[in-house]
Amino acid sequence: MPDVLRTPDDRFEDLDDWPYPPQYLSWRGLRLHYVDVGRGPTVLLVHGEPDWAYLWRDVIPEFVRAGYRCIAPDHVGFGRSDKVVADDWYVIERHCEALRHLVETLDLRDATLVVHDWGGPIGLRQAVDLPERFSRLAILNTWLHHEGFAYGDAIRHWRDWATRFEPGTGDLPCGEVIVRTAGLPCPDPDALRRAYEAPFPDATWKAGPRRFPWCLPFAQPEEGNAADQQRCFDALRGWTRGPVHFVWGDADPIFPVEWARRWSSLVPGATLDTIPGASHFVPCERGEAVARRILARIEA
């Protein structure tokens, strides 16, 4: 086992709009955290970089009120899940394996999958490899690497900036990244910074957030699972299990809305809603609107 850290529980006390008791399961000797709240059909919410399940704090209540069960896991290295200290432990395949373990251990069936950012490549992999477990897909400001995908200046600048933080000691400012990337006004930026820094007492704990930008597959095709992302992109073009709905912050410089329009046009029967003025972290900026638009589509 690599060296592992576990964030103290008191770091998560008194976070705004986050009353959920932690749930845990074990994978390869690591403790994985997830929220499991509500009763009814299952919604699996998969976060990306550099956030954790807290990203869904305004989404979860809307689904629960509508009669759904929400499961929101933290990737290894994020949130309440264990933190492997070594940066080079983190490759996208390990995140995929950990999420598959959760899906199979909880025996999810007929689930709605909601993905954002790196949650797209990691979560959509589950839908492609375990199609019998998922009946609906909701895709938010993310991508799947494939031949011809145009990585714009914003994502290349993000990787260049984020990979300057030294392995082991680089204090990538997770909360500040989210606050500054928001396209819509943040009502309480200090509370948001605190929530997204809560998992990390110091930079030693931040190997997971440091590593996601490094793994972008245009630069690291093996560690970023470029071939599997291509496979999943191709498979979704023939997806027939159930409805696919895209919800997009239309001011996102990382994955522009033009990409959402193109991608949604390639998936049979897919629909697209845009959130005016919202940027990359659309579940954080307009979580209630995101949930309501997904609900309107999956309940139509």
Q: Which residues of the chain, if any, have pLDDT below 50?
A: none
| The model's pTM | 0.98
The pLDDT value recorded for residue 183 is 87
Q: What is the CA radius of gyration of the chain?
A: 17
The pLDDT value recorded for residue 300 is 67
Find tokens 């001011």 and name the residue: 251
Q: Do the Cβ atoms of 47 and 72 come closer than 8 Å?
A: yes
**Of 149, 204, 209, 125, nearest to 173 (Cα)?**
209
CA 291 to the chain's CA centroid: 15
Q: Is the dihedral of CA 160, 162, 163, 169 positive or negative?
A: positive
Q: Do the Cβ atoms of 118 and 49 come closer than 8 Å?
A: yes
CATH number of the domain to which 87 belongs: 3.40.50.1820
Structural domain including 51 reads 4-298
- Indicate the number of domains in the chain: 1
**Of 9, 32, 12, 23, nearest to 82 (Cα)?**
32
Query: Active-site residues: which are they?
Result: 117, 252, 280
CA distance 212 to 154: 16
DSSP secondary structure string for all residues of the chain: ---EE---GGGGTT-TT--PPPEEEEETTEEEEEEEE-SSSEEEEE--SS--GGGGTTTHHHHHHTT-EEEEEPPTTSTTS-EES-GGG--HHHHHHHHHHHHHHTT--SEEEEEETTHHHHHHHHHHHSGGGEEEEEEES-----TT----HHHHHHHHHHTTSPTTT----HHHHHHHH-SS--S-HHHHHHHHHTT-SSGGG-HHHHHHHHT-TTT-TTTTTHHHHHHHHHHHTT--SS-EEEEEETT-SSS-HHHHHHHHHHSTT-EEEEETT--S-HHHHSHHHHHHHHHHHHT-
Preceding omega of 209 cis (within 30 degrees of 0)? no
Find tokens 């930008």 and name the residue: 213
Q: Do the Cβ atoms of 291 and 62 come closer than 8 Å?
A: yes
